[in-house]
Structure 1
Amino acid sequence: MLMAVSFDVWNTLLNIEAVYRKLAEIIAEIISKDPLTIERIIYDKYIKVKKSRLNNNTIEVHKFVISSRNLLAKALDIDYDQLVEAIDLAFSSIIEAPYMSSEVSKILYSDVIPTLNSLKAIDIMMGVIGNNVLWESMYTRRVLKVLGLDKYFKTQVYSDEVGVFKPDRRIFFEFCRRIGVDVSKVIHVGDSVAEDVGGALSAGMKAMYVDRSRKERSVIVELGLFLANSLENVMEALQRLG
């Protein structure tokens, strides 16, 4: 029987594109470029640094956010300090307007709250396992707190705090250690095949891969894997894989 669920954050619970869009708007005021062009540069660099991290086991976790921001600053042709300030302003603007329905809908997926409430109702322990790319975990923690999501989570485990990235199984083991549940009794939910699915399965967890563009959901019991098109599918995943 599965007893706990761990969630990835960005593009699983929260839409990272909402942050990039706000960041692009702020940077557009610094340099003479179209916000859409800037947003594409940000997203492109985000994908590239994530891939480079997967292919390089020697990257120092605590320096990764800094090196990623350096690469993005160069791509945008702005100073590093300007980028750091822009990131801070982007999150401040998101955090300052959390209760405006239009703003919440931009960053918080509509299936998140119903899912968390359903899991809470059946006493399933929940938490977060997240990697950091362009900003530190303190920003993610602040957003989760302002949106009222942190109250659902027993623990939040981030790469910059524990010194290990997903898909390294050690970050999944650390999550299980904190909640006091064996890895075989936990299902991890995320949007990355390599980081979330691969990491969770290698650690001995079950996994649910979320792709909201999928037409149908399916389960591969032999692998302990559920392919979902909504976060709410986690209730079915608990039954099918438990």
Structure 2
Amino acid sequence: MKINYENYSHLSFDLWLTLIKSSPEFKQKRNALFRDFFEIEHPIEKVNEIVRYFDVLCNNINEKTGLNIDTYEIYYLILSALDVDIVKNDTDRLFQFYGHTEELFLEYKPVLIFPDIKKMFQEITNQDKSISILSNTAFIKGAALRKLLEYYELSDYFKFQIYSDEAGFSKPSAAIFQLVLDEISKYKKIEKKEVLHIGDNSIADYNGAIQFGFNAHLLKI
């Protein structure tokens, strides 16, 4: 990852497809678990199709509204599309399923896109610059992503981590970028132009940061 960060005081990083990418095994096993747990009669190919459809759709909606569709809401949309009676599946049951999903996620972990990212983070922090995470979420909540970053021994490099499911807003909303600025301002005086946001999504990461007044780097892998 080559980023010119010399002129910035704080670097904000997206997570998915910027620092990590999913394990292909995880999605396969999660969808199979979804089919079995909710006793879905459709073949796994149909489940895969529907899950992918609502994953993309909800992400697009979040980008348009700047809000955050909850994981359980996505589950209900998928279940309904797969002819499952959602009345018979209360939120306690969804909570139980999510627990199994998180276990799978931490067993079949996403991998680091840049294996030497710790070295870069160390170089940044050695220059008295600060780092944070700003990530939209969908099927995996921020709490699980915190555990993942702890596993990779990256957590200590971040001054804070902001996830859309916890904030109630999604990039490119100005509200979630404002949260970043508010958090930075708790420990140092900073202007918007001194913040560089790095991400792979031109709408959520690049346009969102620029429109808010941050600088931005669009990562192309």
Sort the TM-score into its range (normalised by shorter chain).
0.7 to 0.9
Aligned: 1:167 with 2:172 = yes
Deviation at 1:118, TM superposition (A): 3.4
Which residue of the partner structure matches residue 43 of structure 1?
A: 52
Q: Matches of 1:23 and 1:66 in 2, distance apart?
A: 15
Aligned: 1:24 with 2:11 = no
* 1:166 partner SS: coil
Letter in 2 for 1:14: I
- In structure 1, runs of 5+ residues without a counterpart are 98-102, 213-242
Question: After the TM superposition, which of the residue ranges 167-176 and 18-27 deviates more from structure 2?
Answer: 18-27
Which residue of the partner structure matches residue 81 of structure 2?
A: 75
Q: Matches of 2:42 and 2:155 in 1, distance apart?
A: 36
Which residue of the partner structure matches residue 114 of structure 2?
A: 110
- In structure 2, runs of 5+ residues without a counterpart are 1-6
Indicate conservation of the 8 Å contact 1:73/1:83, yes or no.
no
Q: Matches of 2:43 and 2:112 in 1, distance apart?
A: 26
CA 1:75–1:109 in 2, change beyond 3 Å: closer, same or farther? Answer: farther
Q: Matches of 2:197 and 2:72 in 1, distance apart?
A: 28
Name the Cα RMSD after superposition: 2.8
- 1:112-191 correspondence to structure 2 within 5 Å: 112-180=117-185, 181-191=190-200
Which residue of the partner structure matches residue 15 of structure 1?
A: 21
Indicate conservation of the 8 Å contact 1:23/1:87, yes or no.
no
Q: With CA pairs under 8 Å and 6+ residues apart, which has the higher RCO, 1 or 2?
A: 2
Q: Matches of 2:105 and 2:64 in 1, distance apart?
A: 33
- 1:90-109 correspondence to structure 2 within 5 Å: 90-95=101-106, 97=107, 106-109=110-113
Deviation at 1:35, TM superposition (A): 5.2
Indicate conservation of the 8 Å contact 2:30/2:104, yes or no.
no
Indicate conservation of the 8 Å contact 2:31/2:48, yes or no.
yes
Aligned: 1:197 with 2:206 = yes
TM-score by length of 2: 0.76
Q: Pick from 204, 215, 220: which aligns with 1:206?
A: 215
Deviation at 1:36, TM superposition (A): 5.9
Deviation at 1:155, TM superposition (A): 0.7
CA 1:35–1:85 in 2, change beyond 3 Å: closer, same or farther? Answer: farther
Letter in 2 for 1:20: K
CA 1:38–1:121 in 2, change beyond 3 Å: closer, same or farther? Answer: farther
Question: After the TM superposition, which of the residue ranges 200-209 and 138-147 deviates more from structure 2?
Answer: 138-147
Which residue of the partner structure matches residue 99 of structure 2?
A: 88
Partner deviation per Cα, 1:191-234 (whole Å, 9 max, x = no partner): 2111111110011111111221xxxxxxxxxxxxxxxxxxxxxx
Q: Matches of 1:17 and 1:36 in 2, distance apart?
A: 18
Partner deviation per Cα, 1:15-54 (whole Å, 9 max, x = no partner): 1454433412423544466656544432321111111233
* 1:154 partner SS: strand
The total of aligned residue pairs comes to: 202
Question: After the TM superposition, which of the residue ranges 70-79 and 173-182 deviates more from structure 2?
Answer: 70-79
* 2:20 partner SS: coil
Percent identity, please: 21
TM-score by length of 1: 0.70
